[in-house]
Structure 1
Amino acid sequence: MTDEELKVALVEGINCVGCGVQLQTEHKGELGFTPMSALKKGLETDEVYCQRCFRLRHYNEIQPVSLTDDDFRRLLGQIADTKSLIVYVVDIFDFTGSLIPGLHRFVGDNPVLLVGNKADVMPSSLKRTKLTDWMRQQANINGIRPIDVALVSAAKNHSIDQLLAKIDKYRDGRDVYVVGVTNVGKSTLINAIIKQQTGIQDLITTSRFPGTTLDKIEIPFDDNTSLIDTPGIIHQDQMAHYLGAKELKYVSPQKELKPVVFQLNAEQTLFFGGLARLDFVQGERSPFVAYFENNLMIHRTKLANADNFYEKHAGELLVPPTSDEMTNFPALQRHEFRTKVKSDIVINGLGWVTVPANVTVAGWAPKGVSVLVRAAMI
């Protein structure tokens, strides 16, 4: 293909197979840029990637993007006008942070199949039927009425066959849109489906960084319909947005969670690295169960000394983040709760602590990160 033919093809539209953005060769540093030489080579192998995806896939480097939250919502808003099956992917570990407010506005009257990804990191002692029931209840509370619930591990390729069977059962010859917030594993899941169906591995760009997919990516079925990956809605209240690449390994579990039980008296505090804390303000001595990435260090201290302890040790004993990064790390903000039943105190994108009934606790997280209370998962 000559350079002139390539320019015509670019005008008509060539999309990155990694993130879905339309490619261009003129404006380096802007969305969709790829050198002409890379474009020619990619077209020969049917693997055309933008420079951003290439560097992310090969060097784990992330380049900032100019898309806004409104851009992502506008792209998703087009789904309401289609007749499709919606595969709504959530991260079970970060279920609360995975919820899309007002999902019904994006999907219209289309049926929703709720898929809990990263099931492999949940404690094996947790019965999967109990987990799916809990997910359905939480979805209902948030105004979502899924036609079914599925559990998978996209990274470990677990239960992909069962998910495909459910998709085939419910799609009824329609397109399938895969939706979710950033970092729930949508693209990893679609890669697992593609590999299962075709043998092609890691076609779509994935990473721990939020906002990897930038536009719709369509994978055709045999019946002239498509499986469509959509860009993730960005939740700015998730911990991942305040961390660098090195720190993300402390908030994104890769192995089965090992819950840690603390017998706490009132006026004791737990620090979760230097990222968050939980104060036991008032109540009887009770067990508190922490569910966080296994590498995240948890320290216990007295509530009366907690502020001084954080000021003295943040970035050194309490890591992540490191002392070099603490200057830009937001101050921790306090959120107080009084429980009536056993509950989870959730720090969006970091983990949760199951606390007993009839206690007063305070969760602290960087300003902008949500701290919530919900019915206990386990």
Structure 2
Amino acid sequence: MDQAEEEVYCIGCGAKIQTTNKDQLGYTPQSALDKGLEKGEVYCQRCFRLRHYNEIAPVSLTDDDFLRLLSQIRDDDALIVYVVDMFDFNGSMIPGIHRFVGDNPVLLVGNKEDIFPKSLKRNKMKEWLKQQANLQGIRPVDVLLTSAKNLDEIEILLNTIEKYRKNRNAYVVGVTNVGKSTLINQIIRINNGTQNLITTSRFPGTTLDKIEIPFEDGKMLIDTPGIVHEDQMAHVLTGKDLKYVSPQKTIKPKTFQLDDQQTLFFGGLGRFDYLSGHGAVSTYFENNLMIHRTKLSNAENFYTKHVGELLTPPDKEGLKNLPELQRHEFHLNEKSDVVIEGLGWLTVPSHSTIAIWAPKGISTVVRRPLV
């Protein structure tokens, strides 16, 4: 059997390597495969281009393929390490996760905690995370906050996985873009010094098949493909605009004293109308996303005139693919967070009637305040 026919898997995304069809998963030229086998590091062409040129290629893997890959978890006696994005908690929940975990214990990991101000007490965040998980029918054995940028926190994550694993496999699960692969890259780096082995990016769906990293006892830490949420904001933006919805640094909340009949625009991606009520409205978005205030009576004209220019993202090019903004109205009896999944949220005073606008298909949620 020659090298091209052997079962070789991309260490970046987990796809099975093949050298015959450029349009299918796992393609790499034979020459690149030969070089990769010599070095002991084989990447598919998609991962190579993503890693070196930040280019994303379309793939033929469907949602059903992702779900089928995860279905084996239910039948394994294993620890489930369930990673959620603390900045986009609601958008990073897996619907019906109980179908994938079965009776296995769940360690809940809130990733990207570093983008929250240090003034926000972490114990309060953990308790909030646990309560939100309970509302989703999940009873985790433990809750951790972590950041791939903090190696001390990665050590704590590793030790906690060992505590609950009990000589079993550990599956790392989550939706796309919660930072699973970045966390695992740091775990690999701590264990053997290799940096950035697994392909990571802001693009959804980077890991395409499960990737296995051995524990000392022969069991595996398994990075599974991210569940694709088609209603995530990342799916309606160009690569250039994704930086405005994926905070890389500590977010700096902005507070607006608002009266009724005022509007806030979040670039051209979202809008908040204060229909009745007044008080301090705090906003939590990526620091470079511009927020513009105007009168509600002027909002339609303001958006039509400025979207794609003053109101960016999206730019003119990205505007072509952005679904129209859809209106959702809520009456809030108590102080609440109003979330545009994948973009950010506002904390709004009690006794307020508001409308939130998001691209059609993107979910909006009212929840108990995180801050």
Stretches of structure 2 lacking an aligned partner (at least 5 in a row):
none
For 2:300, the equivalent position in structure 1 comes to: 307
- Provide the rounded CA distance (Å) in 1 between the counterparts of 2:182 and 2:166: 24
C-alpha distance after superposition, 1:61-89 (max 9, x if no partner): 00001111111111111100000000000
**Mapping 1:137-286, distance limit 5 Å:** 137-283=131-277, 285-286=278-279
Which of 350, 359, 368 aligns to 2:343? It is 350
For 1:6, the equivalent position in structure 2 comes to: 3
Does the aligned pair in 2 maintain the 1:265–1:286 contact within 8 Å?
yes
**Is 1:318–2:311 an aligned residue pair?**
yes
TM-score in terms of structure 2 length: 0.99
SS in 2 for 1:218: strand
- Provide the rounded CA distance (Å) in 1 between the counterparts of 2:330 and 2:130: 24
SS in 2 for 1:159: helix
Does the aligned pair in 2 maintain the 1:269–1:306 contact within 8 Å?
yes
- Provide the rounded CA distance (Å) in 2 between the counterparts of 1:54 and 1:34: 9
For 1:24, the equivalent position in structure 2 comes to: 18
Q: CA deviation at 1:156?
A: 4.2
Does the aligned pair in 2 maintain the 1:117–1:153 contact within 8 Å?
yes
**Aligned CA-pair RMSD:** 0.9
**Is 1:104–2:92 an aligned residue pair?**
no
Matched length = 371
- Provide the rounded CA distance (Å) in 2 between the counterparts of 1:178 and 1:139: 17
TM-score in terms of structure 1 length: 0.97
Paired amino acid for 1:218: E
SS in 1 for 2:257: strand
**Mapping 1:331-350, distance limit 5 Å:** 331-350=324-343
- Provide the rounded CA distance (Å) in 2 between the counterparts of 1:240 and 1:7: 35
SS in 2 for 1:70: helix
Does the aligned pair in 1 maintain the 2:338–2:366 contact within 8 Å?
yes
- Provide the rounded CA distance (Å) in 1 between the counterparts of 2:268 and 2:204: 21
- Provide the rounded CA distance (Å) in 1 between the counterparts of 2:195 and 2:122: 28
SS in 2 for 1:368: coil
Does the aligned pair in 2 maintain the 1:334–1:364 contact within 8 Å?
yes
Q: Which moved more, 1:222-231 or 1:68-77?
A: 68-77
**Is 1:328–2:321 an aligned residue pair?**
yes
Q: Structure 1: which 4+ aligned runs deviate by more than 3 Å?
A: 155-158
- Provide the rounded CA distance (Å) in 2 between the counterparts of 1:351 and 1:103: 24
Q: CA deviation at 1:158?
A: 4.8
- Provide the rounded CA distance (Å) in 2 between the counterparts of 1:41 and 1:292: 44
Which of 67, 70, 73 aligns to 1:79? It is 73
Paired amino acid for 2:333: K
For 2:369, the equivalent position in structure 1 comes to: 376
Does the aligned pair in 2 maintain the 1:258–1:291 contact within 8 Å?
yes
Does the aligned pair in 1 maintain the 2:237–2:318 contact within 8 Å?
no
Does the aligned pair in 2 maintain the 1:276–1:364 contact within 8 Å?
yes
Paired amino acid for 1:128: R
Q: CA deviation at 1:238?
A: 1.2
Paired amino acid for 1:5: D
For 2:352, the equivalent position in structure 1 comes to: 359
Does the aligned pair in 1 maintain the 2:279–2:349 contact within 8 Å?
yes
Does the aligned pair in 2 maintain the 1:152–1:158 contact within 8 Å?
no
Paired amino acid for 1:6: Q
Stretches of structure 1 lacking an aligned partner (at least 5 in a row):
none
Q: 1:328 and 1:115, CA in 2 relative to 1: closer, same or farther beyond 3 A?
A: same
SS in 1 for 2:304: helix
- Provide the rounded CA distance (Å) in 2 between the counterparts of 1:220 and 1:320: 42
- Provide the rounded CA distance (Å) in 2 between the counterparts of 1:248 and 1:62: 13
Q: CA deviation at 1:114?
A: 0.4
Paired amino acid for 1:259: P
Does the aligned pair in 1 maintain the 2:74–2:104 contact within 8 Å?
yes
- Provide the rounded CA distance (Å) in 2 between the counterparts of 1:117 and 1:97: 13
Paired amino acid for 1:91: D
**Is 1:297–2:294 an aligned residue pair?**
no
Does the aligned pair in 1 maintain the 2:238–2:318 contact within 8 Å?
no
- Provide the rounded CA distance (Å) in 1 between the counterparts of 2:214 and 2:190: 14
- Provide the rounded CA distance (Å) in 2 between the counterparts of 1:238 and 1:111: 27
SS in 1 for 2:303: helix
- Provide the rounded CA distance (Å) in 2 between the counterparts of 1:147 and 1:325: 43
Paired amino acid for 1:7: A
Does the aligned pair in 2 maintain the 1:155–1:188 contact within 8 Å?
no
For 1:136, the equivalent position in structure 2 comes to: 130
Paired amino acid for 1:364: W
Does the aligned pair in 2 maintain the 1:213–1:231 contact within 8 Å?
yes
C-alpha distance after superposition, 1:226-256 (max 9, x if no partner): 0000000011111111111110110000110
